[in-house]
Amino acid sequence: MPHVQTVLGPVEPERLGRVLSHEHLLCLTPGPGLGQDPVDTAVAALRGLTAYGIDTVVDLSPYGDAGRDADGANTVLLREIARRSGLHVIAGTATYRADFSPAWVRAAGVAELTRRFVADATEGIGAGRWDEAGEGAGEGEGRVRAGILGEQPTGLGEVTAHEERGLRAAARAHHATGLAVSTHTTHGTMALEQIAILDQEGVPRERVVIGHLDNHPDLDHVRRVLDTGVNIAFDSIGKQFWDLRTPRPPDTAPDGEYPKRALRHSDLTRADRLARLVAEGHAGQVLLSMDLTGGQAWANPATHGRWGYRYLPAVFTGLLAERGVDEARLEEMLRTNPVRLLTIDRSS
């Protein structure tokens, strides 16, 4: 039967309300050992969302830094967050860029990654881990099953061989599981290249979400992506200031300055662009979220820092309303579209 796979088990799609489609619930604290329990923090951060009709959060944390452990153990925390918050939580599975990936991810080929993703969806996240002999570990009993493939990334202005392997593995896992594919673009670049790779693997475009398109400065580029028939995400709402994420220098690096690039993407600009796309008839292809983390809350005190997850429904939707976006279009972007993507229907 058609269903949405949550961390607590399958749920009928009709039971879901509005959805935050790209979040990282275990990345809200600055680091371990600082006296902040990640489950307590997440439950507190989610409080009050149901007043705005939001009852579902998609956690798109990949394997690697601040993401999934190799054995999937931290997904048990997502289950506890779901129980205590009363919200539906969906866990994604993916790898990330090589600079932030563990050695086993960097060494894996397409076939190995595909097997891993399929096991994450069918047996539970971490159930497909292999040891040095290439043998699987665990039976998946009690594990959290993935409900979407993502966020699968590409870099800034390039698709590396590592990233292409991950995209192709996600595509092949889609065919085996029926899960939708959600991607990470670095500031909106390489979206069309992602689509070309997924096309080669035969993934239906309507089952693809291209992420972070709200961060690309050229609206015509976003229109070209929409014209292919994929879905796109305006999923950095409230993230107006941040440092361009770069690999940290090695521990052996000498003392001195290591410059970073600082970025700004105004939510007024986001609202202007999104309202224009909605007026042009694209609301049926857009998903909304915030990609909120503890670091982003620190960098954005007026948005994420003040409002947390409530910023999108309490503030940003008001900016859209001022620009002519009505409740019906909001319902499409916050509920209809993400629920359609999260619904797994192997009969179709």
8 Å CB contact between 150 and 23: no
How far the first Cα of the chain sits from its last, in Å, is: 11
* pLDDT for position 23: 98
Rounded alpha-carbon distances, angstroms, from residue 89 to 169, 182, 263, 287, 316? 24, 16, 30, 16, 22
**290: nearest Cα among 18, 4, 6:** 18
Facing residues of 232 across strands?
210, 286
* pLDDT for position 72: 84
* pLDDT for position 242: 85
* pLDDT for position 263: 85
Radius of gyration of the chain (CA): 19
**210 in helix, strand or coil?**
strand
Q: Which residues contact 80 (CB under 8 A, 6 or more apart)?
A: 39
Q: Which residues contact 148 (CB under 8 A, 6 or more apart)?
A: 58, 60, 90, 91, 92, 93, 179, 180, 181, 182, 341, 342
**49: nearest Cα among 292, 299, 233, 301:** 292
* pLDDT for position 214: 98
* pLDDT for position 73: 82
Distance CA 65, CA 100 (A): 6
Distance CA 136, CA 258 (A): 41
C-alpha torsion angle, residues 285, 312, 48, 68 (rounded to 10): 70
Distance CA 80, CA 187 (A): 32
56 alpha-carbon distance from chain centroid? 13
Distance CA 324, CA 65 (A): 40
Residues in the chain: 348
From the CB of residue 245, how many other CB atoms can be counted at a distance below 10 Å?
Answer: 14
- Domain at 4-246+259-342: CATH code: 3.20.20.140
8 Å CB contact between 159 and 198: no
Facing residues of 155 across strands?
158
Distance CA 67, CA 279 (A): 37
Residue with tokens 């939001």: 54
User: In the chain, which residue ranges form alpha helices assigned H by DSSP?
Assistant: 38-46, 75-85, 103-107, 110-122, 161-177, 191-200, 219-227, 267-279, 294-299, 304-307, 311, 317-322, 327-331, 337-342
* pLDDT for position 250: 80
pLDDT, tens digit, for every residue of 252-284?
989 988 777 788 999 999 999 999 999 999 999
Give the residues of the chain that fall short of pLDDT 50: 131-141
* pLDDT for position 142: 78
